């Protein structure tokens, strides 16, 4: 009973919560992007707006990649 809860079910529930939170974030990102496109916003503005959804380390890596592409 208690042993299986601690070994199996609590980690499983935590994993499910994490996946659900990531899915919600992805849906919010998609919705924001579609609404921005529909509103006719500038693509650069949309990119900056959507970058706020990314984790800081991913955002920094994307900015470095963009600066490398612009430098070429």
**What is the DSSP annotation of 3-70?**
HHIIIIIHHHHHHHHHHHHHHHHHHHHHHHHHHHHHTT--HHHHHHHHHTTS-HHHHHHHHHHHHHHH
Say how far apart CA 58 and CA 29 lie, in whole Å: 15
pTM for the predicted model, two decimal places: 0.73
pLDDT at 32: 98
Cα-to-chain-centroid distance, residue 23: 9
For 9-65, how does the pLDDT look when each residue is reduced to its tens digit (9 = 90+)?
Answer: 899 999 999 999 999 999 999 999 999 999 999 999 999 999 999 999 999 998 888
**pLDDT band at residue 69 using 50, 70 and 90 as cut-offs:** confident
Residue 72 has pLDDT above 70, yes or no: no
Q: What 3-state class would DSSP assign to 71?
A: helix
pLDDT at 24: 97
């Amino acid at each position: 009973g208690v042993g299986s809860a601690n070994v199996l079910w609590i980690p499983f529930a935590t994993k499910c919560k994490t996946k659900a939170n990531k899915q919600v974030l992805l849906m919010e990102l998609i919705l924001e992007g579609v609404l921005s496109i529909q509103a006719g916003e500038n693509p650069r503005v949309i990119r900056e707006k959507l970058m706020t959804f990314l984790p800081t380390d991913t955002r920094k890596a994307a900015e470095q990649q963009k600066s490398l592409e612009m430098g070429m």
